[in-house]
Amino acid sequence: ETGVTQTPRHLVMGMTNKKSLKCEQHLGHNAMYWYKQSAKKPLELMFVYNFKEQTENNSVPSRFSPECPNSSHLFLHLHTLQPEDSALYLCASSPGGGDYNEQFFGPGTRLTVL
């Protein structure tokens, strides 16, 4: 247990569906991250929130929409996804603001887009 939980763990959706991924951290951290992990590829940073403010959006398509209502919760809203969006979506948190940036990861949501 890393103190970061993600739901659902598995999700299958059609290209016309709308769904949301949820992440919650119980570590008192101030920074939260969404990553995409595809097989045999480096982790791709999608979004970063620091003290609830979005600080990074790495050219992510608009069909992915993040939401951070407070420092403990992070959502990723999905709509009209493509099959190539199938991947493991990882959430992470870190203390935030400092130089040393060890990140604590959740177990991920395995997303399959049909």
Partner 1 sequence: GQNIDQPTEMTATEGAIVQINCTYQTSGFNGLFWYQQHAGEAPTFLSYNVLDGLEEKGRFSSFLSRSKGYSYLLLKELQMKDSASYLCAVLDSNYQLIWGAGTKLIIKP
Stretch that binds partner 1, among 17-25, 66-74, 79-87, 97-105 (CB under 8 A): 97-105
**103 makes contact with partner 1 (CB under 8 A):** yes
Q: Which residues contact 105 (CB under 8 A, 6 or more apart)?
A: 2, 4, 90, 91, 92
How crowded is the C-beta side of 80, counted as CA atoms within 13 Å? 3
DSSP annotation of 57 reads E
**75 makes contact with partner 1 (CB under 8 A):** no
**66 makes contact with partner 1 (CB under 8 A):** no
**95 makes contact with partner 1 (CB under 8 A):** no
Min separation Cβ 103 and partner 1, Å:
7
How many residues belong to the site for partner 1 (CB under 8 A)? 20
Distance of CA 3 to the CA centre of its chain: 15
Q: Using the rule CB under 8 A, which residue among 7, 26, 56, 57 binds partner 1?
A: 56
d(CA 26, CA 37): 23
d(CA 88, CA 109): 6
Q: Which residues bind partner 1 (CB under 8 A)?
A: 2, 4, 40-43, 45, 56, 90, 99-108, 110
